[in-house]
Amino acid sequence: MKIQTELPENYLDLKKAANYTSSWRERLAAVQTLSSYKHEKVIDLLHNRVKADTVFAVQQAAFEALTKFGEDVTQPVRRKFELIKGAEKVFIRVKKSLPADHTVSDFADKLKRTRLDVYDAYEGDQGKNFLSWLGAKWQTI
């Protein structure tokens, strides 16, 4: 893929998507698109995604783009504990808000409706294992 030095015409839209907290997929797609544009603003945005994104796949994509640009950047490390501060309390609150006979599916639906940012971050982090991970989390609460 050819690296361009000017900003893309839709830079503001891509910047908004790269910072959109409720969709790690949109952030990843924006980072992947921006990785073709070696511009100061893009480089700053990618550095921010490496340091601050809650989803490792987004951090890794930004890291790879910056490395391709020849930037000095530290390899991101996958977080082992809470991705979002206070997420444990969110899980507890959601479970307590449901009837006693609710299912893990009810729990997942309510979490997605009430805290899409938390749902999305953990879905992005866990990947294909997300639903089984969420089920295990639900059982331990």
CB distance 17 to 113 below 8 Å: no
Q: What is the pTM of this model?
A: 0.75
- Helices 116-126 and 24-34, axial angle in degrees (round to 10): 60
pLDDT score, position 100: 93
Does the CA dihedral 113-107-60-29 come out positive or negative? Answer: negative
Query: What does each of the 141 residues of the chain score in pLDDT, given as a tens digit?
Result: 577 888 999 999 999 999 988 899 999 999 999 999 999 999 999 999 999 998 999 999 999 999 999 999 999 988 777 888 899 999 999 999 999 999 999 999 999 999 998 999 899 888 899 999 999 999 998
Q: Quote the distance between the C-alpha of residue 2 and its chain's center.
A: 26
Q: Which amino acid is at 63?
A: F
CA dihedral 28, 57, 79, 137 (to 10 degrees): 90
Predicted local distance difference test score (pLDDT) of residue 3: 78
The backbone region for 3, taken as left when phi is positive above 0, alpha when psi lies in -120 to 50, beta otherwise, is beta
Instruction: Count, in order, helices (H) and strands (E) of the chain.
Output: 8, 0
pLDDT at 1: 59
